Structure 1
């Protein structure tokens, strides 16, 4: 059973201009990286209690403090991601835990979440 509806898959093929299996693989790798990056951003937003640039709802002294570059291993190969940081150093990402570089196995879950919106 497919995780993505056929209509979504066909649209991805048209939009992506896929010609080979390698094209699909590269697309999935990029989609996974983008979804992972957004999940990290959402985790920090929940931790801080306010969205990026939303100063009026900020109820904490802690704030965003840039990014740390990290290379992780997945079944799609190595990916370079930017892990958001907070000023107080309290942010502990769940999707890509600190000091963990191999996150193989979560790809299907992330792509499924990405596809469902």
Structure 2
């Protein structure tokens, strides 16, 4: 599209460098409080081993005390479930995120319970 071409080895080197930065970003410390948090997953089909399977991109966006948006997490996992959301929220807690005032979610069964298990004072 842009008239550029890359060899397989160039793509591998670029990918290796990017993956290190992605891991650093995914494990960075978070602020203790994001008063408002949006949690949602987008489901899509992926080709794996010659078969089409369903995956979900779990996205968590927080608004901090200064009103700034911050993407807290993006994780690719199995089809959306409250059990996987609980795991994602637990990883945020491990990174220092301790308090949510309001969480905006869809109607996934068990989602509210998953949030309240780790953040019991949160209004969902």
- TM-score of the pair, normalised by structure 1: 0.27
Q: Determine which structure has more spread, i.e. the larger CA radius of gyration.
A: 2
Q: Which has the higher helix share?
A: 1
- TM-score of the pair, normalised by structure 2: 0.26
Q: Which has the higher strand share?
A: 2
